[in-house]
Amino acid sequence: MERFITHTGTAAPLYRPNIDTDQIIPKQFLKRIERSGYGEFLFYDWRYRSDGEPILDFVLNDPRYSDASILVAGPNFGCGSSREHAPWSLLDHGFRAVIAPSFADIFHNNSLKNGLLPVTLPEATVAGLIRLAETDPAFELTVDLESQEVRSKDHLFGSFEIDAFRKHCILNALDDIALTLEHVDRIDHYENNVEMGPRYSFLSN
């Protein structure tokens, strides 16, 4: 997991509502056991025709957005089945943040656990960002987690909310394993010093 403090990058506009996890990463690509290698399959059914040829008018196939690292999307982003591969594929493609009017809860939590920052802004603000990104593919945004702000070089677009614990974790690159390892001394002490009761004591009289 990579730390997220402040990120500046170009924005890719994908203003569709209810983008679900099967659209983000189709189910046929979930056989890998690693967290990497999913980026090439991101939005696969929207990026490629049935014969494998790219759909040229899809935003991620537009060379002007090839280096985009912030995705600006529609409401209820990440709905559908619980699929941790969805944030993996976005991260592997190069996105560090997704800005949308709303997110599905499971996707939102999975993203924060993996270092992808979901940013919720009012729908009118997101629509304005979409227009700016469509008009100027070089349009850059800064997502500042410390100040919880989204801005360009000359304009503040708004502030966003984030749970204090999740903010601490993503600022310090603490996934579930890293959080556990912060308490390794206490875990070792417990294992080495606490006497365990008799096994299967529920069978005793």
Note the pLDDT of residue 189.
60
Its sign, for the CA torsion 128, 160, 171, 1, is negative
CATH topology of domain 6-195: Aconitase; domain 4 (3.20.19)
**pLDDT tens-digit profile of 153-169?**
999 999 999 999 999 99
Note the pLDDT of residue 191.
67
For residue 176, give every residue at least 6 positions away whose Cβ sits within 8 Å of its Cβ, in sequence order, or none: 113
- Kindly report the pTM of this predicted structure: 0.86
- Give residue limits of the domains in the chain: 6-195
Q: Span 81-87, mean pLDDT?
A: 92
